[in-house]
Amino acid sequence: MTKTIQTDVLIIGSGPAGYTAAIYAARANLKPHLVSGLEPGGQLTITTDVENYPGFGDVIQGPWLMEQMKEQAVKVGTEFHHDIVNSVKFDDKPFLAETDSGITFNSKTIIIATGAQARWLNLESENKFKGFGISACATCDGFFFKDQNIIVVGGGNSAVEEALYLTNFASKVTLIHRRDKLRAEKILQERLFNHPKIEIIWDHTVEEFLGTEEPLSLNKVKLKNTKDNNEKIIDATGAFIAIGHDPSTSLFKDKIKMDNENYIVTKSDSTETNVKGVFAAGDVKDKVFRQAVTAAGMGCMAALEAEKYIAENYEPCLSCILGVFLLIT
């Protein structure tokens, strides 16, 4: 069943950027529509403790924060669609977007807030044991590895945070990093180094995941030294991959300007893309800060810029109308 919806603002994707854009657009009486995508709420829905989002004296939970943002967006007038956008057309105006359920949006502006997805090692054995010992989400699956030896692969904030979180369940957590120093924030590194359950193996990469066939289950990991190429096998019944994220921008390939890592490029101090009327906010364009608060800020910017764009390009100019009226009379 097909359906066409006319709107001033279409927001593709949720999370802090999408929800904040929806709140601001709705408060501007733009009656925004938001298509949530496969992971409503974004990365924060798989995050537990959040202690760096302003306004909360106590630690809050990521999923709860996303629920509150969505509830606020709904209350001020956002219409939500639990759907997936399959195609977009930016050649003509209004812009077109078609969803998996058959909805066609004709929108004056589009705000892209599709976020980023976990990056994998792309090993054949990794694909084999995904869901059978290998995961990219500690908060989703950590509980299943109680009192087990597990590894975390990576060296940035995400890897360190996941390693620390997993100590709540595992008997031992080993962080595997390909270099001799971490990229994570110093305060996180300090917590990591001081934790009695955590061991670090420097200058190593994962070569292969090993385990049983029946039942399919991970039990060992083969590592390779990046300096002398020596290999060794360690015991591990769980492995969490935390080596970064890739922006969810495949939908917009060849339709909008991106950098060499496929992050959307916007103008300086703006969320406007190279296509006028199309804006990008959050992790889909930010590979530096990647914080909930910065994503929310960009969502606000995108909505305000969309409002200004509509006012300048679609709404009648009252002073112009008055001038014409005076000229006629």
In whole angstroms, give the CA distance from residue 258 to residue 261: 8
Q: Name the pairing type of β-strands 95-99 and 49-50.
A: unpaired
The count of residues in the chain is 329
Could you give the 3-state DSSP secondary structure of residue 258?
strand
> Choosing from 49, 58, 83, 137, which is the catalytic residue?
137
**Which residues are paired to 87 by β-bridges?**
98
Residue 51 burial (C-beta neighbours within 10 Å; 0-12, 13-18, 19+): exposed
Sign of CA dihedral 137, 140, 143, 145: negative
> Choosing from 140, 180, 259, 317, which is the catalytic residue?
140
Tokens for 118, please give them.
Answer: 């976990």
Quick one: angle between helices 15-27 and 292-313, nearest 10? 40
In whole angstroms, give the CA distance from residue 308 to residue 306: 5
Active site annotation includes 137: yes
Active site annotation includes 141: yes
168: DSSP letter: T
Q: Hunting for tokens 């999370």 — which residue is that?
A: 15
b/e per residue, 194-210, with b = 16+ CB within 10 A? eeeebebebebebbbbb
> Choosing from 8, 141, 283, 286, which is the catalytic residue?
141
Active site annotation includes 320: no
Catalytic residues: 137, 140-141
